[in-house]
Amino acid sequence: MPYTSDFGYMDFDFGVETLEKLVMKSERKMHIDLGVPKENTADERRVAIAPSGVRILSEQGHKVCVERNAGEHCNFTNDEYADAGAEILDSVEDLYKRSNVIVKVAAPLPFEYDLLQRGQVIISALHLGSVKVDYVQTVLQRSVTGLAYEFIETRDGELPIVRSMSEIAGALAVQTAAKYLETGNGGRGILLGGVAGVPPAIVVIIGAGTVGHYAAQAALGLGAQVIVIDKELNRLRRFETIFNRRITTAIANEHYISKAAKVADVMIGALNPRSKPMKPVVSEETVMTMQKGSVIIDVSIDQGGCFETSSRTTHSNPTFTKYGVTHYCVPNMPSVVARTASYALTNALIPFIVKIGEYASISDALWKSTSLRNGTYAYKGYLTKKVLADLSGLTFREVQMLLATDM
């Protein structure tokens, strides 16, 4: 019978494991010393593990160290973490030295590279649109095992950690668009849902994935007219069924995109390129035809961007105007609701941390868990994702082959 945890994730296969290996299965389990550092990326207010997650890990016999004030932007106090079983550390250097697994929201910044310990495991987002080659080289030089939120995929093709943040980003995209449509923010002065006798705003969503789903749901809830564009016909059929044909759908091609752009009050880039950098699908010429005071929300910016005119912004300076169109291109959108986002991230991440602790070593965990193996981008000094090798020009090896040499 396949293993299933209390959290609902299942692995139905044993990867490249042989029958002989199954018979010789060890009962020894890896003890996790988890480190939760404070996030240093600009405007990143989330924390990777909430106190509720610390309690789960502590009750299972694992040790958790949390950097002092790591959860302050989420209104998680040091006392809450301590009461849940964490040890609060003042020194981030000490935290890294005492931890065999590090969990972060964003990838480490350059000044954090030297904190990584040889043989350590780090779990974080990568944001493929802005991967630093120096970081990749440091991970390889120190034989760090790297797992990325963007790559952790279950047997049914679900990206549970990405999905949890995408749900929030989709809802926030509409909330943010409504704000920047206001006259005082340089918008067209339009109420998203309209009023009796005055038509609602037109919201065009490019991408019928999780972000698109939650954006469409939020926009419809406010009374907007919604158009969803995607290249996959089956996805559009699913959306029409889910929303009971209250949305308009169109295939993603230049003709329909340019036609929709001319009437849109809001365009939301909600494409998910499935763990690879993307190329813009909306040209600069198309953006030039949009109405003055309309709004672009590019949720895809962390993977390269959906609009040719997009350029990364921050929560401190979230927008810029080009061709009279307000562009909002913040890569870590869920950070504005840091507490909700941290709880959601904890709920999605904890099952995978627990899973690591159920095996004798990280090698054993990767060997036997499809989802963890899928999530690995660095192991034993090699990159294990071709997309990163292509971006960095470094050597690539299949993780299955590296694991096989360990057995």
Q: Which residues are catalytic?
A: 127, 302
Q: Compute the radius of gyration of the chain from its Cα atoms.
A: 22
Residues 315/335, Cβ–Cβ less than 8 Å: yes
Q: Virtual CA dihedral for 39, 43, 49, 50, nearest 10 degrees?
A: 130
Query: Cα–Cα distances in Å, from 168 out to 101, 172, 215, 217, 306?
Result: 26, 6, 9, 12, 18
Nearest residue to 60 via CA among 92, 34, 36: 34
Q: Tell me if residue 218 falls in helix, strand or coil.
A: helix
E strands, 253-335, are 266-269, 295-298, 319-322, 325-328
Residues 349/115, Cβ–Cβ less than 8 Å: no
- Which residue type does 121 have? V
Half-sphere exposure of 217 (CA within 13 A, CB side): 16
Burial class of residue 245, CB neighbours in 10 A (0-12, 13-18, 19+): exposed
Tokens in use for 95? 């935290």
SS3 content of the chain, % helix, strand, coil (to 5): 40, 15, 45
Q: Tell me if residue 362 falls in helix, strand or coil.
A: helix
Residue 400 contacts by C-beta under 8 Å, 6 or more apart in sequence? 15, 16, 373
Q: Tell me if residue 277 falls in helix, strand or coil.
A: coil
Residues 342/71, Cβ–Cβ less than 8 Å: yes
Residue 346 contacts by C-beta under 8 Å, 6 or more apart in sequence? 48, 49, 50, 52, 53
